[in-house]
Amino acid sequence: MNRLRTIDVALDEMLVNLAAIVLRLSKPDVTRTPEARRALAQSVHQYAVCAKRSRDPRVHDLKSRLEETLKPSLRIVAKDGVKVS
């Protein structure tokens, strides 16, 4: 059983490291093209699938942060000085 725990911890560490890489690649200056955005979305999805069974809270936090990178940035639009949604 100790070997399984060791493997589980190693996988969690790998997921944390992978998330750090994907987060660096999610920067707007890296994901300028539609192809890069699709690749990012695929990487985030694959990470989420792998993270699903993890019990490590860091992995789930990073999953949430990665999923946030896929959401479009919203702009506040104003017309005649009044905010328009």
The pTM is what? 0.78
**Interior angle at CA 65, CA 16 and CA 58, nearest 5:** 35
pLDDT digit string (tens) for 8-30?
999 999 999 999 999 999 998 88
- What is the structure's pLDDT at 85? 59
Q: What's the one-letter identity of residue 72?
A: P
Please compute the mean of the pLDDT values over residues 48-71 and round it to a whole number.
94
Q: What's the one-letter identity of residue 78?
A: A
- What is the structure's pLDDT at 71? 87
**Alpha helix (H) ranges present in the chain?**
2-25, 34-51, 57-69
| CA distance to 6, 22, 79, per residue, from 1 (Å) | 9, 32, 64
